[in-house]
């Protein structure tokens, strides 16, 4: 009965977070999803999470997103963790419906230093172009399940008690093969800070995420026959998001996870199709010892 009451309380606490009408997409390109692993105090050799993410672009594009994500994590040795993010995406809008495997993200996180109150961690990640950016060649990039580039991601985080500050960099892997677009994104620079709040069995981690696209995206200039490329105005603007992550350990074997966010600043133009007017996710994490 006590567990049921706590789960109900978790749902009540979660509703205000999920009811926001605008979600500032951190960077589905991947830099926000590497490093800064959720910490629920459980030590395990292997964990596995399954989550569902729902989102909506805006009224201009009118595209709805559904993504089912698998995220296994394995402790290689003390202070070292290997993680894999596997998304399968469903996209629908006025142009039609598209579904397919998204871009996989493989990452390795290593604790560089730790004592009783602080730690320093670094992560190296690869975003692999396993999603097809031409799944439906007749539809724009926003309908495609993948971005079409292999990117390198690096993050570093310093933790002091419950407070954390970190930075990340995503090196965009070049121009994709999207027909009529040939998109080349700029690199992303991320600065983030967070604080872990614990009450009863709940863990709430709000984060401030500052993301700067370091150069404008460029696409084919179709007026020149596609032989030249042009920069997309306002595609390099600053983003500032407030992200909230919630965890509730139901027992020693699994936990409930949830995530939502709101923007303070957002880019006006996202030619890569990453803009969301709302988004939330809910999932379960299974722990194997």
pTM of structure: 0.86
CATH number of the domain within which 63 lies: 2.40.160.40
Provide the number of structural domains found in the chain. Answer: 1
CA separation for the pair 35, 168 (Å, rounded):
9
Tens of pLDDT, residue by residue over 84-127, are: 999 999 999 999 999 999 999 999 999 999 999 999 999 999 99
Query: Structural domain of residue 20, as residue ranges?
Result: 2-288
More confident residue, 153 or 38: 153
C-beta of residue 31 within 8 angstroms of C-beta of residue 153: yes
As given in the structure block, the two tokens for residue 174 are 């070049």
Tens of pLDDT, residue by residue over 151-189, are: 999 999 999 999 999 999 999 998 999 988 999 999 999
Picking from 8-22, 47-61, 230-244, which range would have the lowest pLDDT averaged per residue? 8-22
Please give the C-alpha separations between residue 70 and each of 83, 85, 105, 134, 179, in angstroms, as whole numbers: 10, 6, 11, 23, 29
CA separation for the pair 29, 272 (Å, rounded):
9
pLDDT tier at 26, thresholds 50, 70, 90: low
């Amino acid at each position: 009965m006590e567990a049921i009451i706590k789960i109900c309380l978790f749902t009540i606490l979660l509703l205000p977070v999920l009811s926001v009408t605008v979600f500032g997409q951190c960077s589905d390109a991947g830099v926000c999803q590497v490093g800064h692993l959720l910490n629920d105090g459980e030590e395990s050799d292997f964990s596995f999470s399954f989550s569902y993410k729902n989102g909506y672009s805006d009224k201009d594009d009118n595209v709805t997103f559904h993504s089912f994500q698998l995220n296994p994590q394995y402790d290689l040795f003390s202070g070292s963790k290997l993680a894999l993010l596997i998304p399968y995406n469903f996209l629908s809008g006025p142009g039609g419906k598209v579904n397919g495997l998204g871009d996989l993200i493989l990452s390795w996180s290593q604790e560089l230093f730790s004592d009783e109150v602080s730690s320093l961690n670094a992560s190296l990640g690869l975003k692999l172009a396993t999603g097809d950016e031409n799944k439906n060649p007749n539809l724009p990039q926003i309908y495609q399940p993948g971005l079409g580039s292999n990117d390198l991601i690096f993050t570093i985080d310093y933790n002091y008690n419950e407070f954390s500050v970190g930075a990340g960099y995503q090196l965009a892997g070049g121009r994709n093969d999207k027909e009529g677009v040939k998109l080349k994104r700029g690199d992303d620079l991320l600065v983030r800070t967070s604080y872990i709040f614990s009450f009863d069995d709940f863990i709430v981690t709000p984060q401030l995420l500052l993301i700067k696209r370091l150069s404008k995206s460029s696409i084919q200039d179709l007026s020149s026959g596609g032989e030249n490329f042009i920069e997309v105005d306002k595609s390099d603007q600053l983003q500032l998001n407030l992200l909230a992550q919630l965890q509730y350990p139901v027992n020693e074997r699994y936990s409930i996870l949830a995530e939502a966010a709101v923007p303070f600043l957002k880019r006006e133009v996202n030619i890569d199709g990453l803009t969301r007017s709302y988004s939330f996710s809910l999932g379960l994490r299974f722990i194997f010892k």
